[in-house]
Amino acid sequence: MSLSDEYFVIHKKVLPDYFDKVIQIKEKVVEGMNVSDACKEVGLSRSTFYKYKDYVNRPTTKVGKRIIVSIKLKDEPGSLSDILNDVASRNANILAINQELPIHNIAFVTLTISIMNMKMSVLEFVDELKKKKNVIDANLLAVE
């Protein structure tokens, strides 16, 4: 079984609030607070915390060597080319491109990008992608 079969990327809006509380407790423990006090402060039982602590993690957004970005594009001539040129203009390098066949004039593209020489933050980069012509949506899937 591959990692993609075991993990989902889900917005926290659709999850029960105790998953967010598990993250808060983990962060308090890293800062030096004990688990019992952190659970009391956040308002979550220790049993719920221990049940989920190994399965709930905040995605990393620190700049690393590579990122994976998913992009939903209008199926228009030059849409992908515009994205690729934008990546190159930011001193980043495309390592892999995966594109599904367009359905209902929407193309789904996943880019693996080397960002070692990029001068902007990863989140700024993804926000800029979202503003580009013909981009319907763009999301950061992973930072390595």
CATH, residue 134: 3.30.70.260
d(CA 137, CA 23): 27
pLDDT tens digits, 65-106: 889 999 999 999 999 999 999 999 999 999 999 998 999 999
Secondary structure of residue 103 in the 3-state scheme: strand
Share of the chain above pLDDT 70, in %: 92
Residue 112 — very low, low, confident or very high, per pLDDT cuts 50/70/90? very high
Predicted pLDDT at 76: 92
In this predicted structure, the answer to whether residue 59 has a pLDDT above a threshold of 80 is no
In this prediction, residues 3-14 reach a mean pLDDT of 74
Instruction: Give the chain's domain count.
Output: 2
If asked whether residues 46 and 74 sit together in one domain, one would say no
pTM: 0.56
Closest CA to 71 of 60, 61, 62, 82: 82
If asked whether residues 73 and 115 sit together in one domain, one would say yes
If asked whether residues 139 and 74 sit together in one domain, one would say yes
